[in-house]
Amino acid sequence: MRIAVTGQPGVGKTTFVLRVVERVSLSCGGMVTREIRKCGRRVGFSLRDLATGREGVLAHIHLADGPEFGRYRLNLCDLEEIGAAAIERAIHAAELVVVDEVGPMELHSPRFVAAVGQALSEARNLLVTVHRASNHPLAYCIRHGVDHYLRLTPANRDAQLQAVLQFLSG
């Protein structure tokens, strides 16, 4: 079962994914991203390997090196060695591969793009969040190549959670 979730920024896509991971009766692997906040302001994004708990920095305003993305600099090393590696391992070791998120920052990494493409074709089950407006070919493949493509809103989050859990248990 391949499920993709999209929605406006701040709608709760990562929280949604983590709620699925907590409740599903499948072994999970892959990666999630979260905001890094200091004094109430977003200063970057972290990433975490679901299977190992290893964490890294995806992007930050204080990084000196890496591709620029708005006010952030990307940490391609952590994205590839933690994030992409987590996806690659999960394809073979987990019953559910989780990718949060396929967005403009992550799409700068050829290894990440290849890992997600491999997950789309080989994973037993896949739960992926995808940027709502990306024109990247991988985002297009996700939107049009999954079994269920869900648009998350504050009003439908709980119902969508139940639907995803049902999809994955069936």
Smallest CA-to-CA distance from 57 within 38, 43, 40 is with 43
| Predicted TM-score (pTM) of this structure | 0.95
Neighbours of 65 (CB within 10 A): 9
Write down all domains in the chain, each with its CATH number in brackets: 2-169 (3.40.50.300)
pLDDT single digits (tens) 124-134: 999 999 998 88
DSSP bridge pairs for 73:
60, 68
Stated as kind and residue range, the H or E segment containing 57 is: strand 55-60
- Asked if 47 and 31 count as a contact pair (C-beta separation under 8 A), the reply is yes
pLDDT single digits (tens) 53-88: 999 999 999 999 999 999 999 999 999 999 999 999
How far apart CA 135 and CA 51 sit, in angstroms, is 30
